[in-house]
Amino acid sequence: MERVKTAIVGASGYTGQELLRLLLLHPQVELVAATSRQESGRSLADVFPRYRGLPGSELAFIAPDPEAIAATGAKAAFLALPHGVAAEIARALLERGLKVIDLSADFRLSDPQVYAEFYGHDHPAPDLLAEAVYGLPEIRADEIAATRLIASPGCYPTSILLPLIPLLKKGLVDPATIVANSMSGVSGAGRKEAIPLLFCECNESARAYGIPKHRHLSEIEQELSRAAGDAVRITFIPHLIPVNAGIATTTTATLADGVAPEAVGEALEEAYAGADFVRLLGRGGCADTKHVTRTNFIDIGWEHDPRTGRILLMSAEDNLGKGAGSQAVQSFNLAFGLEPTAGLRLV
């Protein structure tokens, strides 16, 4: 099979590095462009010595110019750019016939007013929102395969949505009682200079942040509302913990009237029995980030607390993997009719 010529726009950040790792090793991808304003002219191997010797690592970074990207013959582009910046390049690449997998927040929300509320400025391309597909492969595989614009989900949302969506679809929990607590590694903040992210600030430290209205809450509530068929509002409390990568999330909710706890496990098994990258740990299974970092897996366990009537959902994923780069590659595989696990059986 002919390899798909592919570009990464914004390839020098943490998510960009993960995309480079995955796509340089992907058997059906030919990486033809990687952009970075800061590193333009330098080779991938020069900027990231870990990739020395890999086929394709001699490729030089270029500036993020849509015309130059299209001139490489690229058929797909991954956008690992900040929100507000991605939309302009996405439009230009779509106009040039590329499929776009956007890892920013620019196309995750269907309502531009919600985007403005959570991101503090008007949406830069509201006319494109109707065709963007929220890229949860386990939930929307057919839609992902049919679109030219994929909005890859955020890291926190992935860890919350995959355990909850099957339960809300079946009406097993009371949506008004949902509380999600998440802990993320420092790489989730991006590759940038900031005092709160310095080693001495993060090491031996754990703290909540972004409360009560973290930006990811907007897409979490949007997708939970779609699953429930009604508006859902939840409490979401993210925390920063002193590890490089990984997200551990514990979500709790009260069972709906008359629902037996065993129905939770049955719903998860029904939803993900054939899923390549969802590993169900069963009742009492506590997910551990150690077992999912550097992979595209999300591990999900659950338990019932009879004293409170609440269900406990435990999940773990790599924020740079299933929460970002590798999930985007999973959607790419669907979009180009490739084996869903292609390039992702990495541990």
Per-residue pLDDT reduced to its tens digit, 51-63:
999 999 999 999 9
Split at pLDDT 50, 70, 90, the class of 347 is: very low
Domain spans, the chain = 4-152+324-335, 156-317
Choice among 155, 200, 202, 286 that is catalytic: 155
Q: What is the mean pLDDT of residues 147-157?
A: 97
Percent of the chain residues past pLDDT 90, beyond the cut: 90
Tens of pLDDT, residues 311-320 = 999 999 999 9
Tens of pLDDT, residues 173-209 = 999 999 999 999 988 777 777 887 788 888 888 999 9
Structure tokens at 165: 């969506």
What pLDDT was estimated at residue 197? Answer: 76
Annotated catalytic, 202?
Answer: no
Distance CA 277, CA 294 (A): 13
Contact call for residues 97 and 71 (beta carbons, < 8 A):
no
Q: In a 3-state reduction of DSSP, which class is residue 297?
A: coil
Tens of pLDDT, residues 219-249 = 999 999 999 999 999 999 999 999 989 999 9
Is the per-residue pLDDT at 71 higher than 50? yes
* Beta strands in 80-166, from DSSP E residues, in sequence order: 99-102, 133-134, 149-151
Is the per-residue pLDDT at 301 higher than 90? yes
Split at pLDDT 50, 70, 90, the class of 346 is: low
Looking at domain 156-317, which CATH architecture does it have?
Answer: 2-Layer Sandwich (3.30)
Q: What is the mean pLDDT of residues 103-118?
A: 96
Closest CA to 311 of 272, 247, 268: 268
Looking at domain 4-152+324-335, which CATH architecture does it have?
Answer: 3-Layer(aba) Sandwich (3.40)
pTM for the complete prediction?
0.94
Distance CA 70, CA 179 (A): 44
What pLDDT was estimated at residue 55? Answer: 92
Distance CA 309, CA 253 (A): 8
Q: In a 3-state reduction of DSSP, which class is residue 325?
A: helix
Contact call for residues 132 and 107 (beta carbons, < 8 A):
yes
Same fold yes or no, 4-152+324-335 and 156-317: no
Taken in order 231, 237, 243, 244, is the CA torsion positive or negative?
positive
pLDDT, averaged across the chain? 95
